[in-house]
Structure 1
Amino acid sequence: MYGSAAHNIYAQNNVEVESPAKLIEMLYEGVLRFNAQAKKAIKDGDIEKRVYWINRSTSIIVELVSILDLNQGGVSEYLNGLYNYEIQLLAEANMDNDISKIDEVSNVFKGLSDAWRETNNVAH
């Protein structure tokens, strides 16, 4: 279910990943961090940084889509649709300079992160 490409994101940055569950948690946290940076860039009127941080966040979500095992049905299919909607929101936020859309994505990923940690008992 978890592709090596996701692992490579962190391996390239010399981050040790203990488990696939921890990797997902780290990816969710990355979206939240990058969204916070994108919001700051919008508030600062820095177009280049806005684009950079939204692209980083989008790249993580694209990776999350790519590692879904859609043969599992149910939850995987739901997450596929949810992740793709979040990508769309980030694209709109980027085009429209819209912090509220970034907040919406962040709220979703905060919920996903909390649920993931609870479900997988990943120590924080």
Structure 2
Amino acid sequence: MTAPHLRDRYLQDSINTASPAKLLLMLYDRLVLDLMQAEQALRAEEREAAHDKITHAQEIVIELRTSLDVEAWSGAPALANIYGWMLTELIGANIARDADRVAAIRNLAEPLRDTWREAAAAAVAG
């Protein structure tokens, strides 16, 4: 087995065995990474790389939105609206090749990720 194949298998196994909270954090971590890389690529005028990262970020936001149970808690509908805004902004940023719009989305995604991380840690602790 080659090293890339082993790495891919490890990543897939990690995803398959992760708890829902861990999966959510993995999605947010990757979303923030994609947004950072997209912003950098746009600023460097690497359009294809930026497009790929923004498109992947859109897929993550869609997954976050579709997996959100809006009946589960009172804040869920507002979070669904935030995801809708993020998706609209990602599409607009991709079309306009606007690094500042990508940065604004990242500036919202990072505190959301951190909040979910704290909630997951609190749930484990108590």
What is the TM-score when the length of structure 2 is the normalising length? 0.81
Corresponding residue for 2:74?
A: 74
Post-superposition shift, 1:52? Answer: 0.7
Post-superposition shift, 1:12? Answer: 9.6
Corresponding residue for 1:117?
A: 117
Identity of aligned residues (%): 26
1:51-94 CA-partner distances (Å, limit 9, x unpaired):
11100001000000110112225221111100010111111111
Corresponding residue for 1:47?
A: 47
Post-superposition shift, 1:41? Answer: 1.5
C-alpha distance in 1 between matches for 2:13 and 2:38: 23
CA distance 1:101–1:119, change in 2 (3 Å): same
Higher helix share: 2
**Which stretches in structure 2 are left out of the alignment for 5+ residues?**
1-7
RMSD over equivalenced CA pairs, Å = 2.2
* 1:72 partner letter: A
CA distance 1:109–1:41, change in 2 (3 Å): same
Post-superposition shift, 1:40? Answer: 1.9
* 2:40 partner letter: K
1:4-29 CA-partner distances (Å, limit 9, x unpaired):
xxxxxx98942514311011111011
- Which of the two has higher C-alpha Rg? 2
Structure 2 residue 21 is matched with structure 1 residue 21: yes
CA distance 1:40–1:117, change in 2 (3 Å): same
**Which stretches in structure 1 are left out of the alignment for 5+ residues?**
1-9
Corresponding residue for 2:3?
A: none
